[in-house]
Amino acid sequence: MEMKMKDIMTELGGAFAVTWLIMGITVATADGTALVGLGMATLGGMLALGIAWMAFSGAHILPPVTWMHAMTSDDLTDQSMWTSTIIRLITQIVGAVLAAILMVNLQPEFITYETAFPNGQEAYMAGYTMTEAMWVVGGLIAAGAILGQIHAKTDNDWAMPIAVMALAGIVNFESASDMASMLMNGTGDAMAVTVPWLVDGIVIGIGALMGMKIDEMIATADDASEE
């Protein structure tokens, strides 16, 4: 399905609102640093995300959710579906950029990118061994399977926001915001930020697809045993 201008603006508005109100910005305080924002893993963040999904109906807002929808679509060869997926992912970054511009002007004591990552984000990623990286991938696949099943099996507006809150420590739902920060600060860490934004989302989508296929296999086996 091709995206219309209304769909794009809805995605843009949702990404802007969630980046500003939930993901927020880190500022310097007398006691160190503090997040000006609700946070993804909090009750307030969960409630705000649920309201955002209701208000911006049809918007995915979070890149992992977009990949989950893409990988579990009826036809993975549908070119218009992939075009819409790319547009959504880019629009989410644009919304995050606009939110970041607003936040840095509202919060002059914000922590700069250079302060947060003085040696670049590559330095923060270099400590993973291959074994640890494989476990991270396995965790993302499992998280994707759980997220996909919750989305497919529950008919409740609050199910997905609760799932996002529960999985926020495992899945980087803030990857569009990370991309926005990187793009606004010289793109020096382009690979270190872009690869997780892309690969983590794809792995979440693969996990959702695997969960869907396993569920279908179990249902088929149950039907066969009843015959």
Summarize pLDDT for 8-53 with one digit per residue, the tens.
999 999 999 999 999 998 888 777 788 888 999 999 999 999 999 9
Interval 189-215 mean pLDDT: 90
Structure tokens at 105: 């002007």
Cβ atoms 52, 17 nearer than 8 A: yes
Please check whether residue 17 is in contact with residue 102, taking contact to mean a CB–CB distance below 8 angstroms: no
Cα separations in angstroms, 102 against 53, 109, 116: 21, 13, 19
pLDDT for 196 equals: 83
Sign of CA dihedral 124, 40, 211, 68: negative
Contact 41, 165 (CB under 8 A): yes
Question: What tokens appear for 204 in the block?
Answer: 């979440």
In degrees and rounded to multiples of 5, residue 83 shows phi and psi of -60, -45
Domains observed in the chain? 5-226 (1.20.1080.10)
**Residues 66, 19 contacting (CB under 8 angstroms):** no
Quote the pLDDT of residue 110.
82
